[in-house]
Amino acid sequence: MKIVILISGRGSNMQALLEADLPVEFACVISNRADAKGLEIAAAHGVPTCMLNHRDYPDRAAYDTALAAEIDRHAPDLVILAGFMRVLSDAFVQYFERRLINIHPALLPAFPGLNTHERAIAGGVKLHGCTVHFVTPEVDAGPILVQAAVPVLPDDTPASLAARVLRQEHRIYPMAVRWFAEGRITWREDGTVAMRGLADATDSALVSPSD
Ligand code: GRF
């Protein structure tokens, strides 16, 4: 199973994937920003890197065409968005349909888009979390593979909540990729995802607040 990861910055989810001892080959990490910290981390792990600056292209369609061509050079089975901070064109998403996944820092369908931790605190929710999902043309709305929930605590700031969620991101993204590599994931006709051979957490619950 060959994988290409797209990043724009810090690359902590990418790092969690590279260090998870997955039964996959990381063919390339591509960044749209030259200063992405994740590029150094990938290189330190011996993974080939590539920088494709969106500013070098006249528009989104031209950039996405070049990006798809660069990805295709590696013929990946799966393309992973790990903090890739660009909206992708419908054509790009459709081209990689069913082999393009993303991690979003909220329990989708709650809080799609940006500033999820601020919005979770402002909304007074008691549980927040993260979601790994297939990417579809509608942003942050594709079939869900796995989610992790964390409590929102009374004194949380967006930063403290983000850190709590990020620890779970680093846990569930490698899980989802492993399941994908093991062929356990089916995208059903109704747009939901079925998992084969995994335990259902039938009686587990995170209650927040809890006494
Ligand atoms: C993560 O919070 C992820 O959920 C979101 O962008 C952030 C990327 O962080 N899509 P990192 O680059 O993986 O550290």
Predicted confidence (pLDDT) per residue in 103-143, tens digit = 999 999 999 999 999 999 999 999 999 999 999 999 999 99
How sure is the predictor about 168, in pLDDT bands with cuts at 50, 70 and 90? very high
Q: Please state the rounded mean pLDDT for residues 95-101.
A: 97
Q: Is 104 annotated as catalytic? A: yes
pLDDT above 90: residue 151: yes
pLDDT at 126: 98
How sure is the predictor about 200, in pLDDT bands with cuts at 50, 70 and 90? confident
pLDDT at 202: 80
Q: Which residues contact 19 (CB under 8 A, 6 or more apart)?
A: 45
Q: For a substitution probing ligand 1, which of 37, 40, 103 has the most ligand atoms within 8 Å of its CB?
A: 103
- Three-state SS letters, 2-71: EEEEEECCCCHHHHHHHCCCCCCEEEEEEECCCCCHHHHHHHHCCCCEEECCHHHCCCHHHHHHHHHHHH
pLDDT at 68: 98
Percentage, residues of the chain above pLDDT 90: 97
Please provide the average confidence, as pLDDT, over all residues in the chain: 97
pLDDT at 71: 98
pTM for this one?
A: 0.97
> What span, in angstroms and rounded, lies between the C-alpha atoms of 93 and 111?
21
For the segment 38-88, what is each residue's pLDDT rounded down to a tens digit? Answer: 999 999 999 999 999 999 999 999 999 999 999 999 999 999 999 999 999
**Is the CB of residue 129 below 6 angstroms from any atom belonging to ligand 1?**
no
Determine the distance separating the centroid of ligand 1 and the alpha carbon of 211, expressed in angstroms. 32
> What span, in angstroms and rounded, lies between the C-alpha atoms of 6 and 76?
12
pLDDT at 199: 86
Closest ligand 1 atom number to CA of residue 11: 12
pLDDT at 156: 98
Q: Of 45, 54, 74, 104, which is the active-site residue? A: 104
How sure is the predictor about 97, in pLDDT bands with cuts at 50, 70 and 90? very high
pLDDT at 110: 98
Percentage, residues of the chain above pLDDT 70: 100
Three-class SS state of 179: helix
pLDDT at 203: 83
Give first-to-last CA distance, the chain, whole Å.
46
Q: Which residues contact 8 (CB under 8 A, 6 or more apart)?
A: 31, 32, 33, 36, 83, 84, 85, 86
